[in-house]
Amino acid sequence: MIQLKNPLQIKEMKEAGRITGEALLIAREHIREGISTYELDKIIRNHIEKQGAKPSFLGYHGFPGSACISINDEVIHGIPSKKRFLSEGDIVKIDVGAYYKGYHGDAARTVAVGKVSAEAQKLIDVTRESFFEGIKKFQIGNRLGDIGHAIDAYVVANGFSTVKKYIGHGIGQALHESPDVPNYGTEGRGTRLCQGLTLAIEPMVNIGRDDVKEMGDGWTVKTADGTLSAHYENTVALTSEGLIVMTQLDSDF
């Protein structure tokens, strides 16, 4: 069942979103060659807890980190490790959730480590822009398929592929709520969008095929063909006054 939020609940969710967005900004400041994914995770956790919140992912179905940190061909759910270090030319995906006063925020970014290839930078940019193409359709009276179609059409037009196996979701008092939010779809089909709907919209985009494979650690997901992947996510709400992006604090990030 879809849990629509009233204005007070959305106001409370904005605080969880703010903390989530701040954690991503702080992580971006610390991304550099030589830092371990464990150290990044610790920085993220410290900020979230200093705000009186809890990392949404820590212990979720047994996940051992506060953030999912995935590098290069890792699509999502990378486990932070003292043995994983960032290198010049990497692209690193940081996926963060914060639980504050009964509500979750969830957001992800892909960040270049130093100078990256032109193709890698294009992938990062297209993935980000596909999110914004999607939320143009996040309007009262539209359908869920309108969002997914807009995301996928933009990705494909730029020569990349949209991951189909993993999708976005509703969000609120639970980290994952109904409805499912695919990053592909058919215009005019799916759940009707209405006031009070809160979603985590999160395109995952591959340079190569959309196929993915799950690794033996039970969490990490990689591209099946070994090509690069990028991820961009925000928690958004649909109100009587329009769209609110609750986890984006820097318009360029």
**Average model confidence (pLDDT) across the chain:** 98
- Which DSSP state fits 117? -
pLDDT for res 208: 98
pLDDT, tens only, 17-47: 999 999 999 999 999 999 999 999 999 999 9
Give a yes or no: residue 1 inside a domain. Answer: no
Helix, strand or coil, per DSSP, at residue 192: strand
Domain extent for 23: 7-245
Give a yes or no: residue 204 inside a domain. Answer: yes
Give 3-state DSSP helix, strand, coil % of the chain, rounded to 5. 30, 30, 45
d(CA 76, CA 2): 25
Question: Number of structural domains, the chain?
Answer: 1
Sequence-distant (≥ 6) Cβ neighbours of residue 202 within 8 angstroms: 106, 108, 131, 167, 168, 181, 183, 231, 232, 233, 234
Give a yes or no: residue 199 inside a domain. Answer: yes
Are 45 and 58 in contact by the 8 Å Cβ rule? The answer is: yes
Instruction: Say if strands 221-223 and 229-231 run parallel, antiparallel, or are unpaired.
Output: unpaired
Query: What letter represents residue 21's amino acid?
Result: G
CATH number at residue 45: 3.90.230.10
What element of type H or E holds 204? strand 204-206
Give a yes or no: residue 253 inside a domain. Answer: no
pLDDT for res 13: 98
Give a yes or no: residue 251 inside a domain. Answer: no
The pLDDT profile of the chain, 253 residues, written as one tens digit per residue, is 999 999 999 999 999 999 999 999 999 999 999 999 999 999 999 999 999 999 999 999 999 999 999 999 999 999 999 999 999 999 999 999 999 999 999 999 999 999 999 999 999 999 999 999 999 999 999 999 999 999 999 999 999 999 999 999 999 999 999 999 999 999 999 999 999 999 999 999 999 999 999 999 999 999 999 999 999 999 999 999 899 999 999 999 9
Q: Which residue has the tokens 């919209």?
A: 201
| Residue 89: both structure tokens together | 């030319």
pLDDT, tens only, 109-127: 999 999 999 999 999 999 9
Give a yes or no: residue 62 inside a domain. Answer: yes
State whether the Cα torsion 66-203-205-113 is positive or negative.
Answer: negative
